[in-house]
Chain A
Amino acid sequence: MNARRRFLKTGIAGALLLATAGAAWRLARPSAPAGTAALDDGARQVLAAIVPVILAGVLRPGTADVAAAVERTAVAVAGLPLDTQQEIRDLFALLTLAPARRLLAGVPGGWSKARPEDVAAFLQSWRLHRVKLLRSAYQALHDLVAGPWYAHESSWTAIGYPGPLKELS
């Protein structure tokens, strides 16, 4: 069992870390005024690593689709209640902390250098994790990436969806 897997098995510690890191991060940072960008650069970096894995088989090669997907996610987050936006920022803040990224997500090095197979292993382990909190974090990432991507008109042809009646939309 490698180090990543070993750490992921220590679920309770992970859950406590996730539950407290957000609060610690909030205390350590100057509070951002409401209405500022929903996701900061750190969050966008994490997303840029996660998006190509969640949407594998859908995105075209290159960085344009990844950037578009990250932006769609950011727009969706900005429409959520302020309290929920804060929870999501806390999740990304945790994932950008190097020790958490390495130990809890099992991704060595920075997110910008993360290998897709490591990101996929991270998502899969949180998806089925015995700690409910990590499963909910996985589902948040899943929904926040996949939902806004497919809600966008440019994604519809690929899935055979003709879109709503043109005359009324």
Chain B
Amino acid sequence: MSTSPIPDPIQAGLAAGWLVTDASTLDSDRRFDADVAIIGSGAGGGVTAEVLALAGLKVLLIEEGPLKSSRDFKMREAEAYPALYQESAARKTRDKAITILQGRSVGGSTTVNWTSSFRTPATTLAYWQERFGLHDYGAAALAPWFATMEARLRIGDWQGAPNENNDLLRRGAARLGIASAAVPRNVNGCWNLGYCGMGCPTNAKQSMLVTTIPSALAHGARLLTRTRAERLHFKGDRVDSLGCVALDAAGLAPTGRTITVRARHYVVAGGAINSPALLLRSGAPDPHRLLGKRTFLHPVVLSAAVYGQRVDGYAGAPQTIYSDHFLHGAVDGPIGYKLEVPPIHPLLFATTLAGFGRPHAALMQQFPHTQAIIALLRDGFHEDAPGGTVRLRDDGSPLLDYPITDFVWDGARRALLSMAEIQFAAGARTVYPVHEMAGGYASWTAAKRAIETLPMQPLLARVVSAHVMGGCPMSDDVGLGVTSSAGRYHGIGNLSVHDGSLFPTSIGANPQLSIYAVTCRLASALAEALTGKPAPAVVAT
């Protein structure tokens, strides 16, 4: 029973009669018909569902995870990670060298992300135009779509002061002459609690869960939860039906009940990794063997530091300061990186810290005094950063093989150096590059000497990711992409992809706003094609 004083819009909607079916409760096989079936309810699926529902189309939204809402969001990692993330927030690449944070509940990763909302960098768009022929993807052409989604999701500069965790990045960078700036966030009435990663308990974060999906449901869309899209069945050059399986209440095992979906059009929006995996399982046409390849992660390396003062990295908006200083080199030169900070919570901190026993315990004792910086490496712009490949396990579940190249490791080492230098400039007493063979260093000189010789190898340097992109790349040249610049799957008449898997490189910034803007445009064009009428305007409610 909820004790939260916060009104819960999801519970109110359910009480008002939204069409929501939790497939774990089904006691017989079911069939649903719709104009459009959307697989996945994250950034791409959520935006698409609203646009199509507002256009008067009968929308069916299919989500593998559960429907959770503010009354469930208790800011506790032990509950939040199994409930709201793919693989309990411990999804790994094939060799287990990279841990991937990806959402799995209604709202997808938008329910658990840290709210950072950047437009796609102009350098990234220029590269797409030049290398993938995406001529419609200029900054000017996309500007109105960014503006639309910024207004829809209340994206703006954060007015509050950064917490100490973020401000140390700002101060350290400033002392070195490195520019930093404030992170735009998608929040409305944020309480500045710091638990965005466990689901917003106050509904301030303008995730899909509290914006586009309620809007779609209020316009008659139907939502299936605990429903895993298993296979698209093709007939000629069209999708004929979609086969789904119901999952148990824990979301781990199929119950044996199946759900068959028939629709005029199908939109795959399961996110990178899961979208290409569904298409691979389904045997979607892939004459140039592109499907699942070029999957990008913005591989992240981390640097922790202990300060004399309290940092309290768990408290306050998690990401409010960033620096793009190290992205300013040529986009296809040595790999660049974006600097941000992560929120510091006990489980993620304890697992991320290297070592065990008394040294680990001693660092845990410094929890309130610890600050961390992360470097997000911009993969996909150089032949030596080609990303990873999504494959299928024997049971059909996806597995990302992402070998980290020497080119990427070179950036990881430079990033560890940059972060340590900034932390000392900000007054750190001790800096701990997150690497199994690193110690704590009391001076920049000592840290520099150590980092320069640390072996950069998988499962020695800690590498994580919270941004999965690519695998269903866009290009109107069928030799370069499996989807068109309009998001249509090449060779299939009634199939689209609307999520971050479309991106032919990584974004070079937190990708949520890129997904919102691109899929809003794609969904609007799709709505016009399916209805023969102008697309509806998307406005904040």
Q: What B residues does A83 contact at CB under 8 A?
A: 393, 395, 397
Residue of B nearest to A156 (CB): B346
Which one of B90-98, B146-154, B523-531 is at the A interface?
B90-98
| Cβ-defined contact, A164 with B76, below 8 A | yes
Distance in angstroms between the alpha carbons of A54 and B458 in the assembled complex: 22
Closest 4 CB pairs of A and B: A164-B75, A57-B361, A79-B82, A135-B459
Residue of A nearest to B86 (CB): A81
| Cβ-defined contact, A56 with B253, below 8 A | no
Task: Please report which residues of chain A, range 69-106, place their CB below 8 angstroms from some CB of chain B when the two chains form the complex.
Answer: 76, 79-84
Distance in angstroms between the alpha carbons of A119 and B250 in the assembled complex: 34
Distance in angstroms between the alpha carbons of A127 and B353 in the assembled complex: 13
| Cβ-defined contact, A146 with B87, below 8 A | no
Could you list which residues of chain B lie within 8 angstroms of chain A, going by C-beta atoms?
4-6, 74-78, 81-82, 87-88, 90, 95-97, 193, 195, 201-202, 250, 252-253, 314, 346-347, 349-351, 353, 355-358, 360-362, 364-365, 367-368, 393, 395, 397, 436-437, 457-460
Q: In angstroms, how far is the closest chain B Cβ from the Cβ of A135? A: 4
Task: Please report which residues of chain A, range 128-154, place their CB below 8 angstroms from some CB of chain B when the two chains form the complex.
Answer: 128, 132, 135-136, 139-140, 142-143, 146-153
Distance in angstroms between the alpha carbons of A58 and B358 in the assembled complex: 8
Chain A: number of interface residues, binned into ranges = 35 or more
Q: In angstroms, how far is the closest chain A Cβ from the Cβ of B435? A: 11
A19 in the interface, Cβ–Cβ < 8 Å? no
- What number of residue pairs across chains A and B have CB atoms under 8 A from each other? 131
Given A58-B361, A151-B76, 20 more A-B residue pairs with CB atoms under 8 Å apart are: A53-B357, A56-B357, A57-B358, A57-B360, A57-B362, A58-B364, A79-B252, A120-B356, A120-B357, A127-B436, A135-B460, A136-B459, A143-B351, A148-B347, A150-B364, A151-B350, A160-B367, A161-B367, A167-B5, A168-B202
Residue of A nearest to B394 (CB): A83
Given the known inter-chain contacts A57-B357, A79-B82, please indicate yes or no for A168 contacting B96, CB distance below 8 A. no
Residue of B nearest to A131 (CB): B459
Distance in angstroms between the alpha carbons of A56 and B58 in the assembled complex: 58
A34 in the interface, Cβ–Cβ < 8 Å? yes
Distance in angstroms between the alpha carbons of A123 and B346 in the assembled complex: 22
Given the known inter-chain contacts A132-B458, A146-B351, please indicate yes or no for A56 contacting B361, CB distance below 8 A. yes
Could you list which residues of chain A lie within 8 angstroms of chain B, going by C-beta atoms?
34-35, 53-58, 76, 79-84, 120, 123, 127-128, 132, 135-136, 139-140, 142-143, 146-153, 155-156, 158-161, 164-165, 167-169
- Partner pick for B347 among A34, A135, A150, CB 8 A cutoff: A150
| Cβ-defined contact, A159 with B367, below 8 A | yes
Q: What B residues does A135 contact at CB under 8 A?
A: 436, 458-460
Q: What B residues does A53 contact at CB under 8 A?
A: 356-357
Q: What B residues does A155 contact at CB under 8 A?
A: 346
Secondary structure dominating the interface of A: helix
Q: What A residues does B395 contact at CB under 8 A?
A: 83
Q: What A residues does B252 contact at CB under 8 A?
A: 34, 79, 81-82
Given the known inter-chain contacts A79-B88, A82-B252, A142-B356, please indicate yes or no for A159 contacting B95, CB distance below 8 A. no
Q: In angstroms, how far is the closest chain A Cβ from the Cβ of B145? A: 35
Distance in angstroms between the alpha carbons of A142 and B346 in the assembled complex: 14
| Cβ-defined contact, A159 with B351, below 8 A | no
Q: What A residues does B436 contact at CB under 8 A?
A: 127-128, 135
Distance in angstroms between the alpha carbons of A165 and B350 in the assembled complex: 21
| Cβ-defined contact, A160 with B365, below 8 A | yes
Distance in angstroms between the alpha carbons of A165 and B87 in the assembled complex: 27
Q: What B residues does A81 contact at CB under 8 A?
A: 87, 252, 397
Q: In angstroms, how far is the closest chain B Cβ from the Cβ of A107? A: 16
| Cβ-defined contact, A146 with B350, below 8 A | yes
| Cβ-defined contact, A159 with B364, below 8 A | yes
Q: In angstroms, how far is the closest chain A Cβ from the Cβ of B289? A: 25
Residue of A nearest to B70 (CB): A168
Residue of A nearest to B360 (CB): A146
Q: What B residues does A84 contact at CB under 8 A?
A: 87, 90
Residue of B nearest to A130 (CB): B457
What are 22 of the A-B contact pairs (CB < 8 Å)?
Answer: A54-B356, A57-B357, A57-B358, A57-B360, A57-B362, A58-B364, A79-B81, A80-B90, A81-B87, A81-B397, A82-B253, A120-B357, A135-B460, A139-B459, A143-B90, A148-B347, A151-B347, A160-B365, A165-B193, A167-B5, A168-B202, A169-B75
- Partner pick for B356 among A136, A146, A147, A160, CB 8 A cutoff: A146
Residue of A nearest to B194 (CB): A164
Q: In angstroms, how far is the closest chain B Cβ from the Cβ of A118? A: 13
Distance in angstroms between the alpha carbons of A159 and B346 in the assembled complex: 9
| Cβ-defined contact, B96 with A34, below 8 A | no
Q: What A residues does B90 contact at CB under 8 A?
A: 80, 84, 143
Distance in angstroms between the alpha carbons of A120 and B82 in the assembled complex: 30
Distance in angstroms between the alpha carbons of A47 and B193 in the assembled complex: 36
Q: What A residues does B314 contact at CB under 8 A?
A: 161
Given the known inter-chain contacts A55-B361, A150-B349, A155-B346, please indicate yes or no for A80 contacting B356, CB distance below 8 A. no
Q: In angstroms, how far is the closest chain A Cβ from the Cβ of B71? A: 10
| Cβ-defined contact, B4 with A168, below 8 A | yes
Q: What A residues does B4 contact at CB under 8 A?
A: 168
| Cβ-defined contact, A147 with B347, below 8 A | yes
Q: In angstroms, how far is the closest chain A Cβ from the Cβ of B353? A: 8
| Cβ-defined contact, A54 with B349, below 8 A | no
- Partner pick for B87 among A54, A80, A140, A159, CB 8 A cutoff: A80
Distance in angstroms between the alpha carbons of A125 and B458 in the assembled complex: 16
Q: What A residues does B74 contact at CB under 8 A?
A: 164, 168-169
Q: In angstroms, how far is the closest chain B Cβ from the Cβ of A158? A: 7
| Cβ-defined contact, A139 with B96, below 8 A | yes
Q: In angstroms, how far is the closest chain A Cβ from the Cβ of B17? A: 28
| Cβ-defined contact, A159 with B202, below 8 A | no
Q: In angstroms, how far is the closest chain B Cβ from the Cβ of A56? A: 4
| Cβ-defined contact, A54 with B367, below 8 A | no
Distance in angstroms between the alpha carbons of A164 and B343 in the assembled complex: 13
| Cβ-defined contact, B365 with A128, below 8 A | no
Q: What B residues does A146 contact at CB under 8 A?
A: 350-351, 353, 356, 360
Most buried by A among B6, B346, B395: B346
Given the known inter-chain contacts A132-B95, A132-B458, A168-B202, please indicate yes or no for A152 contacting B368, CB distance below 8 A. no
Q: What A residues does B458 contact at CB under 8 A?
A: 132, 135
